[in-house]
Structure 1
Amino acid sequence: MTGSAGDEPAVAPAVHLVVVTFNRSVYLRGLLDSVLGLDPAPAGVTVVDNASTDDTPAVLAAFGARAPFPVQVERLPVNSGGSGGFRDGVSAALTATTPGTAGWLWLMDDDVVAVPDALAAIAPFLADAGAVHGRRWDEEGRPFFWQHRFSTWLGVPLPVPGNVFRHGPVMRTDVGCFEGMFLNRSTAERLGPPDGRFFLTWDDAIYGWLISRTEPVTYVDRYVLRKVRPQRHVDLGVRHLNDSSDLSRYHVMRNRGHVARYLQTEGCWSRPGFAVGTALTAAKELVRLLFVEHGLRGAVPLWRGWRNSRTILHDPAWTPEMGLPEMGT
């Protein structure tokens, strides 16, 4: 694995940004300003506007006029969620670029800002992986917790406690996070874009897991993004839990159906283990409701999501929308 502490500075590879936004023009403006401050600059930017109804089109037009690199805007007719946005964004970026103009795609939401030297900092780690994740600061300037490995028996990512960088700057993981994932272009071409059916949540975790079946997925000790949207949270020791929404809670449970189907496709599904993982997922959301949001009114979307996950799990017409040809059973 490249990127050891003693490596010589690497030349930053050509990176094309993929940003998904929906009705958060204030945050989007800050993100795009930070992109203009990147040194080195990106090779280009694709922004997916998920049918925003605020002044997002004007913000994007002003950004395109200022940017010294290519900018393309994909405006969707309806809000397709983060999953649909990244599906269309990755597809558009692959179509608009070539391996010579962009070897990597950097995926992110609209409520972050880029650290000015992010591309230089991440460059030594982009030589031999399918996906790489840099670190993030939270909105209060503290390290944002993201260090997980996927339990195929449970079908959930589990937090890895402690200092995962105590022996070096690279942690091998097997899940993804679209808030900052650097995606190898060749990997994206083989795997295909993300599965838009997830709408919200689980899509990036499964995308990273599928990549890890054949290629390294890493988390590295270099800060590349800073969150700017405040969120209520509670410190549980091994991790923080942030506030959520009924829409997100619904999809956390509903998308367990898609997670199960991908595990089945890869020959990794355990019925009893997955049931335990689903119970743990529901319990985590109930803890979030009680200790972060101080109520249980959001329990109904959890129930509805779980019920609809059963429909997906038993749908005879379900087929995977992403996966490497050499995978599967």
Structure 2
Amino acid sequence: MPQSPDATSTSSTDTVFDPASATIAIVTYNRSALLSKLLASIVRMDPHPGHVVVIDNASVDDTAEVVESFREQIPATIVYRRLETNTGGSGGFSEGMRVAYELGSTWMWLMDDDVEVLPDGLARMGAWAPRFKSIQGRRYDYDGSEFYWQYRVSEPMGIPIPFAPAGFDESGFKQMNSGCFEGMFIHRDIVEQIGLPDPRFFIYWDDQTYGWLASRITTSVIVNEFVLRRTREIKQWDMGIRHMNASSDAYRYYIMRNRGHMKNYYRALGVHRPLLFGLGTSLTFLKELIRLVAVEHTVRGTSNLLRGLRDGRRIARDASWKPMPPLITNE
């Protein structure tokens, strides 16, 4: 079992982590059975967070009834918000973080509905809170194996680095410049400075971009603490050390379209390198073609990649585009 740091021996504005200062923000859409597993795992947590925020992306199943059934079981305040339309993961996490921030939360722990929290998960994350303000824990996959997440991105190309080392040394953490909304643990100070997650992404590249923005103003880390377990099995191509998951037509569209939003963020922050970013887009396109053939055994879906690429170029040419604003200003 990895060793957590001694919270009393490190320096930070937060000398002691208070579990009640944390909010778990969940985004769900028509998966009440999975959401029920997650909420049941929160019942078993020790310690518990102060709030649990559930953002419902206009589900038409019994999500509202499931949330209501846990109000008396979870020793935390449950805040349920049902959106009028499906805003995707991006819109859901943007709203979830907004609600958590307005509740006065110091820490916001984001997660999808297809994971469960390990009982001591919050204690393990909180042990690192005195040292860092953007933290990612580790996850078990559906089958109990270690889930590998690509925590480093090549900034010039805007794509994950697939060969970033998976192992940890005695420090128990590795510096990252990315993020994943399936377990992102972030301090309100960082949210105030970089703003809310950008709902325009709808799905994909949103959490990587948000984590990258956080890493520009604080030391972001992935820690050697298993805190979540995935509860949904996904079709995969086993490549040995890595897996490649199946996707969907919507995924294929947004993974290419949202390169336009990324390009605009890069331009706004003065780090855009046209040739290298273009190479990253080309490699993303190639990877998705390989995914179609190797995982889904088809070439149908290529049109969605092309449509996304076209719309992404239109976004990149939008002269009115602006990044998400900070929640506080120094004026």
- TM-score after normalising by structure 1: 0.92
State yes or no: 1:77 paired with 2:80.
no
**Shift of residue 153, structure 1, vs aligned partner:** 1.2
**Shift of residue 39, structure 1, vs aligned partner:** 0.4
**Shift of residue 170, structure 1, vs aligned partner:** 0.2
- Give the corresponding residue for 1:89: 96
- Give the corresponding residue for 1:303: 306
Range that drifts further, 143-152 or 172-181: 143-152
The residue type paired with residue 224 of structure 1 is V
Other structure's SS at 2:127 match: helix
- Alpha-carbon distance in 2 for matches of 1:157, 1:246: 21
Paired residues of 1:164 and 1:171 also in contact (CA < 8 A): no
- Alpha-carbon distance in 2 for matches of 1:324, 1:52: 29
Shift in CA distance, 268/146, structure 1 to aligned 2, threshold 3 Å: same
Other structure's SS at 2:23 match: strand
- Give the corresponding residue for 2:31: 24
Paired residues of 2:29 and 2:59 also in contact (CA < 8 A): yes
- Alpha-carbon distance in 1 for matches of 2:252, 2:170: 36
State yes or no: 1:291 paired with 2:273.
no
The residue type paired with residue 302 of structure 2 is A
State yes or no: 1:233 paired with 2:233.
no
Other structure's SS at 1:132 match: strand
- Give the corresponding residue for 1:156: 159
Structure 1 segments (4+ residues) deviating >4 Å: 9-12, 322-326
The residue type paired with residue 74 of structure 1 is R
- Alpha-carbon distance in 2 for matches of 1:181, 1:239: 21
Other structure's SS at 2:255 match: helix
- Alpha-carbon distance in 1 for matches of 2:4, 2:110: 28
**Shift of residue 23, structure 1, vs aligned partner:** 0.2
**Shift of residue 113, structure 1, vs aligned partner:** 0.5
The residue type paired with residue 66 of structure 1 is Q
Paired residues of 1:9 and 1:124 also in contact (CA < 8 A): yes
Shift in CA distance, 42/6, structure 1 to aligned 2, threshold 3 Å: closer
Percent identity over the alignment? 42
- Alpha-carbon distance in 2 for matches of 1:194, 1:262: 12
**Shift of residue 158, structure 1, vs aligned partner:** 1.2
Paired residues of 1:12 and 1:119 also in contact (CA < 8 A): no
State yes or no: 1:199 paired with 2:206.
no
Shift in CA distance, 149/161, structure 1 to aligned 2, threshold 3 Å: closer
Alignment of 1:177-188 (within 5 A): 177-188=180-191
- Alpha-carbon distance in 1 for matches of 2:4, 2:222: 18
State yes or no: 1:52 paired with 2:55.
no
- Give the corresponding residue for 1:114: 117
The residue type paired with residue 303 of structure 1 is L
* Cα deviation 1:184-220 (Å, max 9, x = unaligned): 1221122211000000010100101011111011101
Other structure's SS at 1:225 match: strand
* Cα deviation 1:197-253 (Å, max 9, x = unaligned): 000010100101011111011101100100011001113345211111111110000
**Shift of residue 126, structure 1, vs aligned partner:** 1.3
**Shift of residue 123, structure 1, vs aligned partner:** 1.9
The residue type paired with residue 188 of structure 1 is V
- Alpha-carbon distance in 2 for matches of 1:8, 1:153: 36
Shift in CA distance, 323/9, structure 1 to aligned 2, threshold 3 Å: closer
Shift in CA distance, 324/211, structure 1 to aligned 2, threshold 3 Å: farther
Alignment of 1:59-74 (within 5 A): 59-74=66-81
State yes or no: 1:245 paired with 2:248.
yes
- Give the corresponding residue for 1:260: 263
Alignment of 1:272-283 (within 5 A): 272-283=275-286
- Give the corresponding residue for 1:40: 47
- Alpha-carbon distance in 1 for matches of 2:114, 2:189: 27
How many corresponding residue pairs? 319
State yes or no: 1:315 paired with 2:281.
no
- Alpha-carbon distance in 2 for matches of 1:265, 1:238: 36
- Give the corresponding residue for 1:13: 18
- Alpha-carbon distance in 1 for matches of 2:307, 2:301: 10
The residue type paired with residue 50 of structure 1 is N
- Alpha-carbon distance in 1 for matches of 2:245, 2:151: 16
- Alpha-carbon distance in 2 for matches of 1:267, 1:86: 26
Other structure's SS at 2:211 match: helix
The residue type paired with residue 27 of structure 1 is L
State yes or no: 1:168 paired with 2:160.
no
Paired residues of 1:18 and 1:107 also in contact (CA < 8 A): yes
- Alpha-carbon distance in 2 for matches of 1:35, 1:312: 40
- Alpha-carbon distance in 1 for matches of 2:296, 2:143: 19
The residue type paired with residue 44 of structure 1 is H
State yes or no: 1:210 paired with 2:223.
no
Other structure's SS at 1:66 match: coil
Paired residues of 1:148 and 1:160 also in contact (CA < 8 A): no
**Shift of residue 323, structure 1, vs aligned partner:** 5.4
- TM-score after normalising by structure 2: 0.92
| Structure 1 unmatched ranges of 5 or more | none
| Two-structure CA RMSD over aligned residues (Å) | 1.8
